[in-house]
Homo-oligomer: A and B are copies of this chain.
Amino acid sequence: MTLSQSDLRTHTTASCSTIYKNDTLTLNGESQDISTPRTQACLRALRSLRANLERTSPTALPILSTLSLKIVSNNNFPTAAGLASSAAGFAALVRAIADLYILPSSPEQLSLIARQGSGSACRSLLGGYVAWRMGSEVDGSDSIAEEIAPANHWPEMRALILIASKEKKDVSSTAGMQTTVSTSELMTRRVKDLVPRRMKDMEMAIKEKDFEKFAELTMKDSNCFHACCLDTVPPIFYMNDTSRAAVRVVDAINDHAQRKCAAYTFDAGPNAVVYYLEKDHNLVTGIFRKILPNVTGWEKEGQTENKSVTIPDGITDAMTAQLQRGTSGVILTKVDKGPTSTENHLIDEMGNTS
């Protein structure tokens, strides 16, 4: 699910010029190492497409493919904290350079390039509900992202993100996943049997806008993923005690409502993402806001706290205390469209950053 750029956004400007001495990338004001194989693979693929265009175009095109690139990128959310910053970053990088090069490639084709930067980046080139297809080719050439449904198919989908920690992770998601695949014996079963079956079920749930099924699959698959992380040698722990308290609170909200109105999922970090439908906003966020009245992020909605909310019995003081101790803020967001262009560039025509 692609989340709204008003809430979680990587803003990237790509430029090239004869005055640049070499390729550079600045993220949130800090110069980044661009020599990594993952970044180099993306730049090489994009330059190759541009070079091909320059060679075959019937009209003369400026030769950009050989020029050095200057790329500037800003996130409006914490980096390397399990909020998919590297997925957003590589998607924005690929999209920005593709726009600079005026490449005619489809988002699906570009997803193949972004995937080489960070696997999950491939999904972020599209909006709405997106599937990353495993593909069957040995070289991965058909492992691309595809839209399952656009955002306006099921626009009522909302997400409450509990930011459990702003600390950087000790294991990067990509490195972690590679170790899991090579050392976890449970992962074999997950990859071969469970994921393909759940992908089909999830596509159906999204197409039918069946939130209960969506919730069941989301929670089950999140737990299954983290189980495989724990089964890795040495074990990888993304969830912490605060994540576990969030799980128990969501379970208690669902028990209280006698239906699945909320679904937790955890990416490669401790932050809970809690999905719910717009109609259940007061029910779901009302309880979390009652538990966490003092963290930042609620203001956005311009709502005052709904004092009439009562905490369901299943939520113990221990859960409440742990959530309060370990949550630094919340982000309220929703499903939305994919990459968009803006006239607000981070590099001016002279190559200066603003």
Q: Is A17 an interface residue (CB 8 A)?
A: no
Measured CB to CB, the closest approach of chain B to A324, in angstroms, equals: 15
Q: How many copies does the complex hold?
A: 2
Is A228 an interface residue when CB atoms closer than 8 A count as contact?
yes
In the bound assembly, the distance between CA atoms of A237 and B231 in angstroms comes to 14
Query: In the complex, which residues of chain B have a beta carbon less than 8 angstroms from the beta carbon of A311?
Result: none
Contact A230 B220 (CB under 8 A): no
Asked whether any CB of chain B lies closer than 8 Å to the CB of A234, the reply is yes
Give Cα A224 to B228, complex, Å. Answer: 8
Tell whether A223 pairs with B247 under 8 Å between CB atoms, given A189-B185, A241-B241.
Answer: no
Does A240 interact with chain B (Cβ within 8 Å)? Answer: yes
Q: Which of A220, A233, A251 is packed against the most chain B CB atoms within 10 Å? A: A220
Flag whether A166 is at the interface (Cβ < 8 A): no
User: Is there contact, CB below 8 Å, between A231 and B241?
Assistant: no
A289 located at the interface, meaning its Cβ lies under 8 Å from any Cβ of chain B in the complex: no
> Which of B189, B190, B223, B231 is within 8 Å of A235, CB to CB?
B223
Choose among A227, A228, A240, A247 the residue with the greatest number of B CB atoms under 10 Å from its CB: A227
**A194 in the interface (beta carbon within 8 A):** yes
**Interface residues of A, count at CB 8 A:** 27
Interface residue? A226 (CB, 8 A)? yes
Does the CB pair A230–B233 fall under 8 Å? no
Taken residue by residue from 188 to 200, chain A's Cβ proximity to chain B (1 for < 8 Å, 0 otherwise) reads as: 1110011000000
A186 at the interface (CB under 8 A from B): yes
Contact with B along A168-206 (1 / 0, CB 8 A): 000000000000000011101110011000000000000
Bound CA span A186–B223, Å: 11
A158, chain B: closest CB distance, angstroms: 22
Binary flags per residue of A107-125, CB closer than 8 Å to B gives 1, else 0 = 0000000000000000000
Which residues of A, 206-253, contact B by the 8 Å Cβ criterion? 219-220, 223-224, 226-228, 230-235, 237, 240-241, 244, 247, 251
Q: List residues of chain B with CB within 8 A of the CB of A228.
A: 186, 227
Q: How near does chain B come to A29, taking the closest CB pair, in angstroms?
A: 26
- Chain B neighbourhood of A193, CB < 8 A: 185
Instruction: Tell me the smallest distance from the CB of A33 to a CB of chain B, in Å.
Output: 23
In angstroms, how far is the closest chain B Cβ from the Cβ of A232?
8
- Give the residue of B194, B219, B230, B240 whose beta carbon is less than 8 angstroms from that of A223: B230
Report the nearest B residue to A186, measured CB to CB. Answer: B186
CB neighbours (8 Å) of A234 from chain B are: 247, 251
CB contacts under 8 Å to B, within A248-300, are 251
**Residues A61-111 near B (CB distance < 8 A):** none
Q: List 19 A-B contacts (CB under 8 A).
A: A185-B193, A185-B224, A186-B189, A186-B190, A186-B194, A186-B224, A186-B227, A186-B231, A189-B189, A219-B233, A223-B231, A223-B232, A223-B233, A224-B231, A226-B230, A227-B228, A227-B231, A234-B251, A235-B247
New A-B pairs, 8, CB < 8 Å, besides A186-B190, A223-B233, A227-B230: A185-B189, A186-B231, A223-B230, A223-B231, A223-B232, A237-B247, A240-B241, A241-B241
